[in-house]
A and B are shown apart, each in its own frame.
Chain A
Amino acid sequence: MRRSALVVDDSRVVRKAARRMLEGFGFSVREAEDGEQALIACRAEALPNVVLLDWNMPVMDGITFLRAARAEFGADRPPIVLCTTESEFSRIVEALQAGAQEYIMKPFDATILGGKLAQIGLLDAAEVPA
């Protein structure tokens, strides 16, 4: 069965770029513009295999979604990868403590994203572009 991803970002440009990379790795992709939409998407259908999550968004930000998702769906499902311009050490620690599996500091490319997906067991290292 095809692996699925939910891309949560208020930037259409970022969602489009992430979608292209994820589809290149064989994922089906859904999109949400903020944390609230993402929660609705998670409740509406089967949980995605991974959530790629921005931090700063209107309505509901990424860390709030992360905590809500961990409380509602479980400690490690769905796997959540923060993907944000927030690059301070304290922010990364905060996200990990809230239950994120991985963390991407923007900007990123398919090698970085693929590597992170490999680290959480969703891709084989050989599938990641060098």
Chain B
Amino acid sequence: MSGSSPDTFAAIAGLVKARAGIVLTPDKGYMLDTRLAAILRRGNFASLAALAQALRDPRGEPLVRDVVEALTTNESSFFRDGKPFEHVKRILPALHAARPAGARLRIWSAACSTGQEAYSLALLLADQLPALAGRQVDILGTDLSREVVERAREGVFSQFEVQRGLPVQMLVKHFIQEGGKWRIKPALRAMCRFEERNLLGEHRGLGGFDLIFCRNVLIYFDTPTKAKVLAALAAQLAPDGALYLGGAETVLGLTDRLVPLPGERGVYGPAPALARSA
């Protein structure tokens, strides 16, 4: 049961859709109550309706940002779902062999949340680097939320977080204990860069990537938004690169620029040029 009227729900849901592409259906009305409670308290808003009114104020940009961030989902864990990282291990030697000496391998963790996905890739690469013969690897993590990007940059995780998906041998090898928290070691932190970025925006300035992770994000978007985001990601992907989506996500029916890689689940590659022009 939500404390918001249909008008208030529509106003806030419309804002989140416009800013983040996220579709909040009326059955998610409870999220407004639970996730915006702290903002109501902080801003002394008497109700969600009062907050919705304040969001219409053109000077309310920080408030808009806080509301959108509060209504986005930031679930993350190390080596989430396992299988994509197994594929990365298999594809890295081929990408390394195909690139000229001195060229960097580039990986994008789009919608990186608090950084576990980007750091999982760094951890995996730390074990694989001998096979990559000293090749430099850049990992870029981006997220809409300033708060989670700041946390990702910090590279500090709670005891609970480091136990979700991270083998204990990696924990003791690559993290430093600081009180009850765990900080990723500087060498791995240095492999990753994090920045705020809206997936609905323009990404050409980022350059090309060999691997792109964009998992469990499209599920929150409507069909046109999914198609737009997939086309934008495809434009940044190397011809022999791979795009990783979540288990409940697909490119089928959304874009002809990406095709499933044979025998893989949730892994896509650029469509052959012939297929694109057909």
Contact = CB atoms under 8 A, between A and B. Distances in A.
Interface string A51-80: 000000000000000000000000000000
A103 B177 contact: no
Nearest to A111: B164
Interface residues of B, number: 17
A17 interface: no
Nearest to B86: A125
A105 B168 CA distance: 10
A11 B75 CA distance: 32
A111 B159 CA distance: 14
A130 B163 contact: no
Interface in A82-107: 87-89, 92-93, 96, 102-105
A35 interface: no
Interface string B46-86: 00000000000000000000000000000101000111000
A87 B181 CA distance: 10
Interface string A105-130: 10010011001101100000110001
B167 A102 contact: yes
A92 B82 contact: no
Contacts of A108: 163
A88 B159 CA distance: 11
A105 B159 contact: yes
Contacts of A104: 163
Contacts of B75: 130
Contacts of B207: none
B168 A103 contact: yes
A102 B165 contact: no
Nearest to B83: A125
A88 B163 contact: no
Contacts of B82: 118, 125
Nearest to B78: A115
- Residues of A in contact with B, size category: 20 to 34
B168 to A, nearest CB: 4
B277 interface: no
Given A118-B82, A125-B81, A87 B180 contact: yes
Contacts of A93: 172
A119 B167 contact: yes
A116 B180 CA distance: 20
B172 A89 contact: yes
Interface string A15-40: 00000000000000000000000000
Contact of B163 (A96, A115, A125): A115
Contacts of B172: 89, 92-93, 96
A92 B164 contact: no
What 8 pairs across the A-B complex have the smallest Cβ distances? A125-B82, A103-B168, A89-B177, A112-B163, A119-B167, A105-B159, A102-B168, A115-B165
Given A111-B77, A125-B81, 17 more contacts: A87-B180, A88-B177, A89-B172, A96-B172, A102-B168, A105-B159, A105-B163, A108-B163, A111-B164, A112-B163, A112-B164, A116-B168, A119-B167, A125-B82, A125-B83, A126-B81, A130-B77
Interface of B: 75, 77, 81-83, 159-160, 163-165, 167-169, 171-172, 177, 180
